[in-house]
Structures are given as C-alpha cells and as structure tokens.
Structure 1
C-alpha cells in the first residue's frame, strides 16, 4: 500500500468520524435495527448482522461460541494469527485486520462490516474512527467480567437464544467435572493455583478476579491464601526467590513469551520449585497459555474444564 493511499484512507476515515456521514452508527444502519446497551452508551445495531469484525480474543471466542464466523479479526500474535485452541475450520477465511489494540482502520473499512465488537481497554482510543465505519459495541473491559461481556456480545449479534444454550451447556459441563473430582466438598478441599511466567516481568499468580479464577470457582475448587494478596484481586507477582509462595495442592503453569526471558527455565530448575508440595507430589501441570489465559470465553472454558478433569481426576 502506498503512502499516498494510506494517508488518503486515514483522512477519509477521520472525515467520517467528524461529520457523522457514512455507514457507521452515526448514520442509522440499513434495515431493521435494535438497541444494545454498551460501555459507550446505547448503540443501534442490525437485527441480524452478517459482516462482523472482532478486535480482541474474547470477542472472537464469543462469536465462535455463538456460531458466528467474523469476516475480520485482529491478530493475537501467534503464527496463524489466532489462538491455538480454535480449530482451522472455526477461523478459516477470517481476514487479519491488524493487531489487538491497534486495528488497521483501512483493513476494517474494506471489509464493509455491519458490526464491530471490542472493549474499552483495547479500543476506547479508536472508538470514534471505528463507529464511523460501522456500529461499534464496546464492553468496559475484558477478562474477569467475561460472562457479562458475553451477554453483550450475544445481544449485539442477535444470538440470545444461542447464548442461553451455551451458558446452560457450560454449567452442566462444570457440574460434571465437579462430580468427577469427587463432589463439591472434595473439590473445595483441593486448593489450586495458576502461575504464569511472563517475559520481561515477574511471575504472576492469578487472583480471584481473573478469567481463569472464575472457571475454577465454577467447578468449586479451593484456592490458596496467596491469591488474596492479588492487586485489585487480579494477580500477585512473585520473584524467582519467592516462587514457593505459589504452592498449592495442584499447580497449573503457563508461559507468555520466551521461556528463558520469562524466567520459566530458571525457576523450574530451582530448588525452591522442586521442593514445592505440588511439584513433589506430581501435581504440577504445564498448560497452554492461549487457552487458559488469553482465550477468555466459553469455547476456551470448555477445553479448560476437560483438562481440569483429566489432570485432577
């Protein structure tokens, strides 16, 4: 793409945002519409959107869960552009529209979407430009409130009935896992921790206000006291010298980035790690970061439930 074309497109999108002229939510979408409550206020969307663009991983999971294949999605930073727990059939044909938090507005516009899904944490700064392209539905944030966000996505996609079925199936699946682990009382007595080695940062222990914590809670699993140290309930960071703070009856660990730079290599070789009860009892399990941490939705959660039953059963 030439510099001249890029500048022309950017200017055109800026003009749309300022004037409110175009196909976006400043002008009413064509055909029958409904109103959705969003983090940016009430937004009119098509009753049955057909060309959906999603700009974060949770929004993509929601769409796939509800049987909607978006025409475009942002790149999740993987080789394929999508998180690995999604099958090739589920993501084939979806066009790359830039990176999460920095969508390529020209690429989004060229797809002629009739609905855009994202969240303020990623795209509040892009909202004016995005809504000039198509009705844009943002949730407040991502992660912990994923179930509430899913309801917003379902309302925007016109898939409330499908959403109800997905939620019911997930709850039944969680109950099945609880039973397989010996019932609610035994599950509660099993303290589980989630550790993430992060490139360029200290190791993260996930608190109770995180996506993965809600899945553990739905199974009824216990959590060790360290999770209550989490900042704002989200996570508690530990250095390699304090990794044993993360000990529990069972430990699941993932890595984001290069294992050496994330200190995973160093920590897993350390005496502190090897002396942890979960490690000594062979109850420490490597997990897929893309599924357990980045996925944020019911499709990812179903895979997590299966793995919890397999590893802890």
Structure 2
C-alpha cells in the first residue's frame, strides 16, 4: 500500500513540476517576445528637403517629401551632418554614434566635436565625399544626413551600403530656419528617447534668440554677411544661407534687401561694400573652414573699404568658419552662432 501511495505522490509532483516548467517557459517566451517588440519599435517622421540639380541658380532642384520609419533607441547610428552630430551629443546619445565624417586624418572634424575623434567612431569620409565601404562595415540602424549628402546618387549608394538602415534628413531649412532646427531637435529627442532634454535645448535656443532680437531693436546699423574665399568676396541676404539667421530670425537690418539667394552667395566687389557702407560686417573665411588659405584679414585690410563704417568703428565680427560653414543647423551650434551675432550688436 505504501508503495502505491508513493508512486501516486511522485506522479502528482511530476505533473505539478511539468506545469510550473511549462508556465515558466511560457513567461520567458512572452518576455522574449516583448523585448523583441520593444527593440523593434519605430516612429514615423515626415522628411522634407530639396535636392539641388546641376544648375547654379537652383532652377532644376527637386523637392523630396517622404515619411520615414525610424527605430526608437537605435544602437548603431551614422551621422553625416556636423550640426546634427552636435545635437545628438547634446541630447546625451553620443554612444549610439558609430560613424561620422572626419576627413583625412580626422582633420575636418570641428574642434567642438573632438569627443568623436576616437577610434570607437568610424571615419566615414568627409561631409561631401562618403566612404560607403566604412558605412557597410558598421551596418547602421539609422543614417542622419543633410544637404551635402542629399543627392539621389549618394542616397542610392547609401541604400546599397546599408539596406536595412533608416535614412532621415536632418538639415535646416533656410526659409524657416528656427522652426526647422527646433523640429529636428524634437524629432531626435523622440528617436533617442530624450524628449525632455530636447525641450530644454529648444528652450535655451529660444531664450538666446529673444536676447539677440531685443538687442537688434536698439541698433540702427545695417549689417552685411561677407564670405571671403581666397580673395574673392560674396554676400548673403534674407532667406538665404547664413543670412537667414541674421536677418530673418534675429531681425537685424540688411544693408541690401535684394541679394539673390544662392548656396554660394552673390559675388560682390570691394566697391560694392563701400557703396553699401554696412555698419556691421560678419565676415567668414571659407578657406580656413576647408583647410585652404586664410585670406579674410588681408581682404578686410583692402584700402578700397577702409572708410566703411564697420571698418572704422571696429564692428567687423570674424565668425567661426567651422561653426558657420560646416556645422550650422544643430540646436546647440545655432545657439553658438547667435552668440557670435550678438557681438556685432554690442
């Protein structure tokens, strides 16, 4: 009888253990599925940008508008835009960046992005010339790009190199600069689960802009943005690259409202500068930005413009070319640009 009872007891215990094991296995399987589901979570972001054609006047540009499914909390990100790279760092998501354009020997990377110089971040070429093989090695989840790499040919190559990566445009819109910078920051905050930090960064930028606008109201001087490129001069007006921040966002009066909008600016002469007689000059040395010859100081010392008000009254602000030419469009880089503009208002 005892043997029969023992056998029954063992059988019951076996059934209970099997049931528990099955339940545990079921929970583990459910947990695993939940984890997978969490890891594959995506958000849909509207991506709008313009691709330049071959014509200098931009008449053959093509508008792109698409909805992009972007992974939330991506593990491997390639950032091809320095402004966006700075924003990603500001959000606290630096460790997700596995590739960025540093140029030959890392020489192109701006000083304020030195934290990305290490070997843990793969060099993907330059901001214009992409090393697709390096991107293929990374196998990124997400590629962030802007105007310099927005062309159809580049995008086709990126798709071949990283077919599983989402590709999102993060360049700023010169026609709606402030809103586009803040929208990009908000979107990146959603992608990296840093929405509160994104709000904080946008709030800081708004405060800086209000400060600059308040100063601009008290200044009667009209301004000129002067790009110096190895002796050649060009300028930018409202609604154009560089000019949009100064004139459209910060409400500083332009010395000339009729400048043709162009990515390369409107070519001008020293006589033009004298004729317009700006009270403030924001000068940028393009050569210095791209590793060429520095020529801004020599250009500004030209006798033809020696009697211009900005020259006589020491109102020439030499802006940081790395910041303005290479890294504009990020939330923190825009704030730094505003700081430089304020110098001309003091």
SS of equivalent residue, structure 1 residue 72: strand
- Contact 1:73–1:94 (8 Å) recurs in 2: yes
Pick closer, same or farther for the CA change 1:58–1:78 going to 2, 3 Å: farther
Q: Give 2:51's aligned residue.
A: none
**Cα distance, 1:172 vs. partner?**
0.7
Tell me how far apart the structure 2 counterparts of residues 260 and 284 of structure 1 sit (CA, whole Å). Answer: 22
Structure 1 counterpart of 2:93, from 57, 68, 76: 68
Provide the aligned length of Structure 1 versus Structure 2: 279
Under a length normalisation based on structure 1, what TM-score does the superposition of the two structures give?
0.75
Deviation sequence 1:265-289 (CA, Å, 0-9, x none): 6533322121111101111122211
1:298 — aligned with what?
331
In the alignment, what sits opposite 1:109? 136
Is 1:44 the counterpart of 2:30? The answer is: no
Return the index of the structure with the highest Cα Rg.
2
Determine if contact 1:194/1:205 at 8 Å carries over to the other structure: yes
Partner in structure 2 of residue 88 of structure 1 = 114
Between 1 and 2, higher relative CO (CA 8 Å, sep ≥ 6) is seen in: 1
Displacement of 1:31: 1.3
**1:168 to 2:168 alignment:** no
TM-aligned CA deviation for residue 109 of structure 1 = 1.9
> Quick check: 67-76 or 230-239, which moved more?
230-239
Q: Does 1:151 align with 2:183?
A: yes
Distance 2:277 2:68 in 1: 46
Task: Give SS of 1:99's match.
Answer: coil
What SS is found at the alignment partner of 1:229?
coil
CA RMSD of aligned residues (A): 3.3
Q: Distance in 2 between matches of 1:98 and 1:155?
A: 26
Match of 2:308 in 1: 276
CA distance in 2, matches of 1:34, 1:243: 49
Q: Distance in 2 between matches of 1:48 and 1:260?
A: 39
> How far apart, CA to CA, are the structure 2 residues paired with 1:123 and 1:34?
21
Deviations 1:171-192 (A, max 9, x none): 112223444x3xx5314x2322
Once the two structures are superposed, residues 77-115 of structure 1 have per-residue CA deviations (whole angstroms, 9 ceiling, x without a partner) of 79633123x253366543210122321111112223111
Quote the residue 1:34 is aligned against.
Answer: 43
Check whether the contact 1:54–1:60 (CA below 8 A) recurs between aligned residues.
Answer: yes
TM-score normalised by length of structure 2: 0.68
Aligned to 1:10: none
User: What is the rounded CA distance, in whole Å, between the counterparts of 2:180 and 2:294 in structure 1?
Assistant: 32
C-alpha displacement of 1:149:
5.5
> In the TM superposition, what whole-angstrom CA distance separates every residue of 1:187-242 from its partner, at most 9, and x where no partner exists?
4x23222111024x841212112353333243332221x24222359832203443
Distance 1:299 1:120, change over 3 A: closer
CA distance in 1, matches of 2:73, 2:150: 24
Q: How far, CA to CA, are the matches of 1:56 and 1:143 in structure 2?
A: 16
